[in-house]
Amino acid sequence: MSYSKQDRRFVAHVDMDAFFASIEQRDNPAYRAKPVVVGADPKGGKGRGVVSTCSYEARKFGIHSAMPISIAYRKCPHAVFLPPDMGKYEVASSHIYQVFYSFTPEVEPVGIDEAFLDITGSFHLFGTPLGTCLKIKSKIKKMTGLTASVGLAPTKMAAKIASDLEKPDGMVEVAKEKILDFLWPLDVRRIWGLGQKSEEILAGMGIKTIGDLARADIKNLKNILGKNGEYFWQLANGVDERTVDAETDAKSVSNETTFDLDTSDDVLVESALMALCEKVSARLRRDGLKCRTITLKIRLEGFFTYTRSLTVPEPTNFTDSLYKVIKDLYNNFSTRNKKVRLVGVRASNLASSDFQDSLFTEQGDKKLEAIHGAVDAIKGKFGEDSICRAKSMPS
């Protein structure tokens, strides 16, 4: 394909294929060509938690990410079920990102296993845009032994969709002049950010494909979907001005836990929340960060999931400060007599720990910093479980 001077934007979306499961298959030949499921312990079909990822062999049985692990077990009890090994996956991820940055500095991380790359200003160093993407795939394979699927397009949404169409080990290029030919036949659910409720509304309007959405009356869409109606209409017509954001600073720090059994025991839930606050606050201090916004995540039986957030006046990374907010959010949340399946804590709206809103640091804050520093030092030397608050200890 020839490239004119007008075709100046080239966005690649690189998505690793079944990342966790592929690493396990790479490292253990006995797992290759077998259905592999990485996630919670299935406990013979009675386990809690969900599937993190699964191999393509497992997907043939209808298993997919975020599926309850008990259902995955029922679909394929002979699969190889493995717990996540995040340390190993992070090492592989760091190698993959080294590859990304060897082709362009314009890298927007999406997760441990995918990213957007703007190669507009660098592809000429490696040949054509398509040739550059093929070299990225080849270098990832050589460095990690893993395959990646890549979408190349003039917009982020088209690139993301393209990377998913020929998995595994796919490579799909979308030319600027062909973007509508590419998008319009596809199911409307492929629109980036389109939720299930919006999809159902559009289906009720007879809109099933991206082309249907592009040809719909924009005023009608705005009346029904609000400002999202115009936004989705623009995406359907190939208009996507989002740029690759090379910002690499952490946006949030979070941790969550799934109970072995759904529970209505407030003492157990609050104990778990304290333990999560300890982990999140320790991570914030280790990374030299404080947060302003604190979020409670709660999942009830039946997989109904909710979040509640509060933004505090001054940034903090103290465990007790996080827990006070989280406990208040939990106490003010009505479970409507449903049991709790999962809880999580997220810290966001981050700032450097050197940042101070006030000119003077309270003496009490200095003491708390010293205490937290001592706790972090003990855990660093003797392990995470060597010291904890009594509130976070299981009863």
Burial of 177 (0-12, 13-18, 19+ CB in 10 A): exposed
Q: What is the dihedral of CA 245, 247, 251, 254, to 10 degrees?
A: 100
114 is catalytic: yes
- Rounded CA-CA distance 349/326 in Å is 16
Neighbouring residues of 159: CB distance < 8 A, sequence distance ≥ 6: 11, 12, 13, 116, 151, 152, 153, 174
Going by C-alpha positions, the residue among 179, 171, 180 that lies closest to residue 130 is 171
Q: Are 284 and 368 in contact (CB under 8 A)?
A: no
Neighbouring residues of 245: CB distance < 8 A, sequence distance ≥ 6: 108
Query: Residue 103: CA atoms inside 13 Å, Cβ hemisphere, count?
Result: 31
Q: 299-324: string of b/e by CB count within 10 Å (b at 16+)? A: bbeeeeeeebeeebeebbbbbbbbbb
- Rounded CA-CA distance 260/257 in Å is 10
Return phi, psi of residue 68, to 5°: -55, 135
Q: Which of 57, 114, 270, 278 is catalytic?
A: 114
Give the DSSP H or E segment for 137. Answer: helix 129-144
- Positions annotated as catalytic residues are 114
